[in-house]
């Protein structure tokens, strides 16, 4: 029965993607696509890459959030609430200052490295904290994020790069063109990798003692999880920008509906994460047409509302 639902969700996502392909200032329709080469160019150079980017970034950020929640054993963390995204931005700024002409690949690697260091710092802080109530952990993450962004903003002001940094790190899909989004396929590969070893993440999420009892190589899984989180966050920030709340709300909603067996939930998280980003992008494109509001802004509004709902409706098991 559940596989039926998954199929429906998949069809829904295809519907959303097709909608996304045919929304925009240029009136691309099936007929013009066939007859007009300019329209065909618009379609394949901007619309298709944009839609693929939406799908990949949404799915990957959802899964990155899930992995972070399992590794910290806390439901209220995600890359943008744990200093990961902010560290990636700092990394991007460092490249912009030291090597402004560096190719996008270098930007990506440096941003991912910074994301890794930021996440490890967060994990280290968590270890030092004795009182681990479910809300202290995200608070620590937010404080760390604030400190890192403060450093980033200060440095950006000092080097007069505040505006260009803002343009990079706001989650905006309007600049996605053929040739400028392909790195996101790497993110897709990391998401598949996470699905491949999904059960190790479930076991790691049971805590260190359970994991050791079951013979899991806890350190290795921790390292692989951190790598996936850092690579996904780093690449998404370089190509698209920050997508706030996504990694938090999608895994939590899915957990409420079908539980936490990662092998079952990851396909759902991918589908719903992609759908939410596509929806936010479509709203952003339509709300003051022909101008665009970045998808991340819409996501911030929708995400914050769902986050509040989750906090109020917080299930018993997350309260500890």
Partner 1 sequence: MITINQIIKHYDKTKVLDNVTTTIPQGGITSIIGANGAGKSTLLSIIGRLLPADAGQIHVANMDVATTDSDKLAKYISILRQENQFNNRLTVQELVGFGRYPYTKGRLTTEDQQKIAQSLAFLNLTELSHRYLDELSGGQRQRAYVAMVLCQDTDYLLLDEPLNNLDMKHAVIMMKLLRKAADELGKTIILVIHDINFASIYSDHILAMKKGQLCYQGKPVDIMQSAILEDIFDTPVTIKQIDSQLIALYY
Which long-range contacts (C-beta less than 8 Å, at least 24 apart) are formed by 304-309?
A: 304/245, 306/245, 306/249, 306/253, 307/245, 307/248, 307/249
CB nearer to partner 1: pick between 80 and 200:
200
If binding is defined by CB under 8 A, does position 199 make contact with partner 1? Answer: yes
Binding range to partner 1, per CB under 8 A, among 29-37, 90-98, 122-130, 193-201: 193-201
Structure tokens at 225: 């999880």
If binding is defined by CB under 8 A, does position 133 make contact with partner 1? Answer: no
CB nearer to partner 1: pick between 248 and 299:
248
Q: What are phi and psi of 319, to 5 degrees?
A: -80, -20
CB nearer to partner 1: pick between 216 and 272:
216
Q: ∠ at Cα 167 (102, 14), nearest 5°?
A: 100
CB nearer to partner 1: pick between 31 and 316:
316
H or E stretch covering 70: helix 48-72
- Report 226-285 residues binding partner 1 (CB under 8 A): 255, 259-261, 263
Q: Tokens 């699905």 — which residue? A: 195
CB nearer to partner 1: pick between 180 and 319:
319
Which long-range contacts (C-beta less than 8 Å, at least 24 apart) are formed by 223-227?
A: 224/193, 224/197, 224/200, 225/67, 225/68, 225/70, 225/71, 225/194, 225/201, 226/71, 226/116, 226/119, 226/120, 226/123, 227/116, 227/190
47 burial level (CB within 10 Å; 0-12, 13-18, 19+)? buried
If binding is defined by CB under 8 A, does position 128 make contact with partner 1? Answer: no
| 230 in Cβ contact with 115 (< 8 Å) | yes
Q: What are phi and psi of 18, to 5 degrees?
A: -65, -45
Binding range to partner 1, per CB under 8 A, among 51-59, 114-122, 204-212, 271-279: 204-212
If binding is defined by CB under 8 A, does position 203 make contact with partner 1? Answer: yes
If binding is defined by CB under 8 A, does position 73 make contact with partner 1? Answer: yes
CB nearer to partner 1: pick between 180 and 263:
263
- In the complex, the smallest distance separating the C-beta of residue 230 from partner 1, rounded to whole angstroms, is 23
- In the complex, the smallest distance separating the C-beta of residue 209 from partner 1, rounded to whole angstroms, is 5
Distance CA 214, CA 217 (A): 9
If binding is defined by CB under 8 A, does position 129 make contact with partner 1? Answer: no
- In the complex, the smallest distance separating the C-beta of residue 245 from partner 1, rounded to whole angstroms, is 19
Among 4, 127, 128, 320, binds partner 1 (CB under 8 A): 320
CB nearer to partner 1: pick between 15 and 259:
259
- In the complex, the smallest distance separating the C-beta of residue 215 from partner 1, rounded to whole angstroms, is 3
If binding is defined by CB under 8 A, does position 311 make contact with partner 1? Answer: no
Binding range to partner 1, per CB under 8 A, among 105-113, 209-217, 229-237, 304-312: 209-217
Size of interface with partner 1, in residues (CB under 8 A): 31
Distance CA 156, CA 94 (A): 9
- In the complex, the smallest distance separating the C-beta of residue 252 from partner 1, rounded to whole angstroms, is 10
- Cross-strand pairs, 98: none
Q: What are phi and psi of 110, to 5 degrees?
A: -65, -45
- In the complex, the smallest distance separating the C-beta of residue 257 from partner 1, rounded to whole angstroms, is 10
Whether the CA torsion 65, 69, 75, 80 is positive or negative: it is negative
| 57 in Cβ contact with 277 (< 8 Å) | yes
Catalog residues that contact partner 1 under the rule CB under 8 A.
Answer: 70, 73-75, 198-200, 202-203, 205-210, 212-217, 255, 259-261, 263, 315-318, 320
């Amino acid at each position: 029965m559940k596989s039926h639902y998954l199929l429906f969700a998949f069809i829904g996502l295809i519907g959303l993607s097709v909608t996304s392909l045919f929304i925009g200032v240029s009136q691309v329709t099936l007929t013009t696509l066939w007859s007009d080469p300019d329209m065909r160019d618009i379609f394949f150079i901007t619309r298709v890459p944009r839609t693929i980017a939406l799908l990949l970034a949404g799915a990957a950020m959802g899964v990155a959030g899930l992995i972070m929640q399992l590794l910290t054993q806390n439901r209220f963390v995600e890359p943008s609430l744990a200093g990961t995204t902010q560290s990636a931005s700092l990394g991007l700024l460092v490249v912009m200052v030291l090597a402004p002409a560096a190719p996008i690949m270098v930007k990506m690697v440096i941003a991912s490295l910074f994301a890794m260091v930021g996440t490890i710092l967060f994990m280290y802080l968590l270890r030092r904290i004795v009182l681990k109530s479910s809300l202290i952990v995200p608070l620590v993450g937010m404080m760390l994020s604030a400190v890192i962004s403060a450093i980033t903003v200060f440095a950006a002001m000092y080097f007069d790069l505040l505006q260009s940094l803002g343009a990079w790190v706001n989650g905006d899909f309007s600049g996605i063109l053929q040739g400028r989004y392909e790195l996101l396929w790497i993110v897709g590969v990391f998401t598949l990798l996470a699905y491949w070893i999904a059960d190790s993440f479930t076991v790691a999420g049971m805590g260190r003692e359970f994991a050791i009892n079951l013979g899991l190589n806890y350190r290795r899984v921790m390292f692989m999880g951190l790598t996936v989180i850092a690579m996904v966050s780093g690449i998404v920030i370089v190509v698209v920008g920050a997508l706030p709340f996504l990694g938090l709300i999608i895994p939590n909603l899915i957990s409420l509906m079908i539980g936490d067996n990662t092998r079952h939930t990851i396909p759902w998280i991918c589908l719903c994460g992609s759908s939410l980003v596509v929806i936010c992008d479509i709203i952003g494109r339509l709300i003051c047409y022909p101008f665009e509001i970045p998808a991340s802004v819409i996501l911030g509004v929708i995400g914050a509302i769902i986050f509040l709902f989750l906090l109020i409706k917080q299930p018993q098991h997350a309260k500890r």
